[in-house]
Amino acid sequence: MKRTFRQASGLTGDETRASLLRFNWSAGLRGVFDTIGAGTNFIFVGFARSLGVAKEQMGWVSFIVSCACLLQMAVIPLIGRIRRKKRFALSLALTEPFLVMVAVGLALLLPPGLRLVAFVTAVFMAAASAHMSRPITDDWFASSIPTEIRGRYLGRRLRIVSIVTIISTYMCGTIGERIGMDNTVGLGLLLIGGACCGVAAVVVLRDAPMPALAAHSQPRLTDFIVALNTRPFARYLVLIAVFNIPFFFAVPYYQVFHLEIVKMPASLIAVMQSGYYIVKILALPFLGRLVDRWGPRKTMYVAGAIYALFFSTYMFCEPG
């Protein structure tokens, strides 16, 4: 087993196991951060609403933050020139939660007329830091997983993230209901607590070795063109885009709908989302076998129909 690890990543068996364990810890801590501070989470939405963002305008906040993903493309041509990729990636990743803390602090301390602009600007910069670190950290993570255990490891990692998300979502709902979803200071402190978990998620990776494959990678902009000219990948990209574009319009308003339109208490939102992840954990083994039997294309067709049926029920929801 150790020999296989060395051939695949350049790491010894012990280094690989230690590295994957740290990636699991990082995923769990990151799950807490994302549950609390993600731009579509009900805590983030509640905090933004308490700053004066109209419910109809939440889409613009999410749009501005989402635009940060474009900065990934600016980093890719520079990766080959970065000598210490691990330090560069971890520094950027660490900047994200720190900037979230700054965003909350500015929103709480600045005069009312400046709070919203400062908050959105800082959150955009936080998202930009995270996205610019991803080309390196994703390559680092992928090259650390031995091929022969990839499926089992990723499945276990997904379960860890789901369990952490269930617990943190329920706790957020309980705390949010107690402090009030219009409590700017209370929600801000909750966001800062989530950002502390984001810092810890980066710190645990400090001693994880980076395989030579990732440390010496030199991607070029022409590689992106080659990938787009690869027909199977291009078709997959189109499929994912078509499947997800409707969600891009709706996602910023899910929690606005829950909080403002149907007047759901935070604890009920937490129970609903936790139930989603519980079902997901229980269904994953069965769905994995289903994909093996039906193939990904037929499974996507069925999933698309179920999604459409589920979201059509939103039209009939009302308070109570």
> In 3D, which of 97, 96, 125, 126 has the Cα closest to residue 194?
97
Mean pLDDT over the full length of the chain? 84
Record the tokens describing residue 33, joined without a space. 């951060």
* Confidence class for position 220, pLDDT limits 50, 70, 90: confident
Cα–Cα distance measured from residue 186 to residue 129, given in angstroms and rounded to the nearest whole number: 26
CA 143 to the chain's CA centroid: 20
* Confidence class for position 189, pLDDT limits 50, 70, 90: very high
Record the tokens describing residue 81, joined without a space. 């020139």
Half-sphere exposure of 254 (CA within 13 A, CB side): 19
pTM, to two decimals: 0.75
Residue 270 CB contacts under 8 Å (≥ 6 apart), including other chains: 169, 170, 171, 172, 173, 174, 176
Q: Is the pLDDT of residue 29 over 60?
A: yes
pLDDT at position 8: 56
**pLDDT > 90 in the chain, percent:** 13
Cα–Cα distance measured from residue 163 to residue 143, given in angstroms and rounded to the nearest whole number: 25
Q: Is there a contact between 127 and 65 (Cβ–Cβ < 8 Å)?
A: yes
* Confidence class for position 9, pLDDT limits 50, 70, 90: low
Q: Is 276 helix (H, G, I), strand (E, B) or coil?
A: helix
**pLDDT > 70 in the chain, percent:** 97
Q: Is the pLDDT of residue 7 over 70?
A: no
